[in-house]
Amino acid sequence: METGEKKMTWARQFMPVLASIREEFTREVPFRGMRIGMALHVEAKTACLVEALAAGGAEVYITGCNPLSTQDDVADALGKVGGVHCYAKRGATTEEYYAAIDRVLDARPQVTIDDGMDLIHRLHTTRTDLIPGVIGGCEETTTGVHRLRAMAREEKLRFPVIAVNDTPMKRFFDNVHGTGESALAAIMLTTNMLIAGKAVVVAGYGFCGRGLAKKLHGLGARVIVTEVDPRRALEAYMDGFLVMPMEAAAEAGELFITTTGNTSVITSRHFRKMRPGAVLANAGHFNVEIDVKWLESHAKAVTRRDGIDTYHLDGKDIHVLAEGRLVNLAIPKGMGHPIEVMDLSFALQALCARHIVLNGKKMPPGVYEVPGEIDSQVATKKLTSLGLAIDELTKEQKDYLSGWETGT
């Protein structure tokens, strides 16, 4: 058995929810005759999703969604799965990256599954001739959903897309626990630094940021949160964290982690205020949160080691992990989110893809929430796999919640 297959075999045993959905798909074959195009992080957990879709009758065409997140051995193993065509490779140049996106689109997919909206962006810019054949798509991450909503507001989105990222079963587990644990694990693995006692700046207190902050606090870090939303800033303060602007945090922090999904979060004016030896990492989708281009152009020299680029500036060094890309996947040994977390997220993707196939032609262009029954179904399957039971509302309780006649 090759290393990629071994990784996939390891992942499967911790993904009972997706396994049960794969069994359903094998019986029902909901994707018979369908072509599904995917741009996701190509690693073992993603491979299990691809296998489930192929088991449901789909012809799957997949590439990466980040030049540094592909695991080549898994990509090779995926290419041997019946009905699967994999074009991803680690370390792709910009030209190679978009050439692989185009190879997926050359298959004329009827359903897209994106992590960052690269397929949909390409379809709406340089490959518009393919749009009439697209039934709809699914989007995995916060950044992609932001871009999709912007398109929808401008009435530029030309088919329905389900915002998988925004559903509770994604946000409460993938974003909070997945990002929280995997980003922190990647930083610790790459740097071998002690977290206890460190002044750690978390940029952004959305679901990813709050997950990171809480995991850091549990390891004894002194957590500082920066925010632009007053409500989230107040939430971080009430959760026990220091809150301040990045200008002030730049002077106080030893480790910086960006989670905003926005651009130019840490820039030259912050670099100048940082203490010598500051370590910077990004847990957002794109490599635009830390101004690495400025560091590259202003450093007197750069020392590159596995997963760490050290920029020698006037009088101090600044260390950037994973080239400022998604740290939990882009470091040399990046494994991404824990398997059990992605079992839930990819179960959502699989069921939403089926929903698009069954209903997409009746859905006007736009961004859609995950249907509530799909979210609940995934939660129920997970509870069952854990051997857990919960209460059910009685008729009296349902009547009480749905009525208005009962007063104080």
pLDDT digits (tens, 9 = 90+) for 131-189: 999 999 999 998 899 999 999 999 999 999 999 999 999 999 999 999 999 999 999 99
* pLDDT over 70, % of the chain: 100
What is the helix (H) or strand (E) element at residue 59, kind and residue range? strand 59-63
Residue pair 22/89 in contact by the 8 Å Cβ criterion: no
- The contacts of residue 270 (CB under 8 Å, 6+ apart) are 246, 247, 250
Q: What is the β-pairing status of strands 59-63 and 308-313?
A: unpaired
Residue pair 203/257 in contact by the 8 Å Cβ criterion: yes
Q: How many CB atoms lie within 10 A of CB 234?
A: 13
Instruction: Please report how the helices 230-238 and 207-218 are oriented relative to each other, as an axis angle in degrees rounded to 10.
Output: 20
DSSP bridge partners of 199? 222
Across residues 196-224, what is the average pLDDT? Answer: 97
Instruction: State how far Cα 226 lies from the chain centre.
Output: 21
pLDDT digits (tens, 9 = 90+) for 241-277: 999 999 999 999 999 999 999 999 999 999 999 999 9
Instruction: State how far Cα 214 lies from the chain centre.
Output: 19
* pLDDT for the residue numbered 333: 87
Distance of CA 340 to CAs 167, 329, 401, Å? 17, 16, 34
Rounded Cα distance, 229 and 398, in Å:
37
Name the pTM for this structure. 0.93
pLDDT digits (tens, 9 = 90+) for 28-79: 999 999 999 999 999 999 999 999 999 999 999 999 999 989 999 999 999 9
Query: What pLDDT band is residue 113 in, cutting at 50, 70 and 90?
Result: very high
Residue pair 163/148 in contact by the 8 Å Cβ criterion: yes
Mean of the per-residue pLDDT values for the chain? Answer: 96
Q: Is the pLDDT of residue 286 over 90?
A: no
Instruction: For residue 328, give both structure tokens.
Output: 């939990």
* pLDDT for the residue numbered 334: 87
Domains of the chain are 3-170+338-385 (3.40.50.1480), 175-330 (3.40.50.720)
- For 338-369, give the secondary structure using H, E and C: CHHHHHHHHHHHHHHHHHHHHHHHHCCCEEEC
| Among the listed residues 221, 182, 206, the one whose alpha carbon sits nearest the alpha carbon of residue 289 | 206
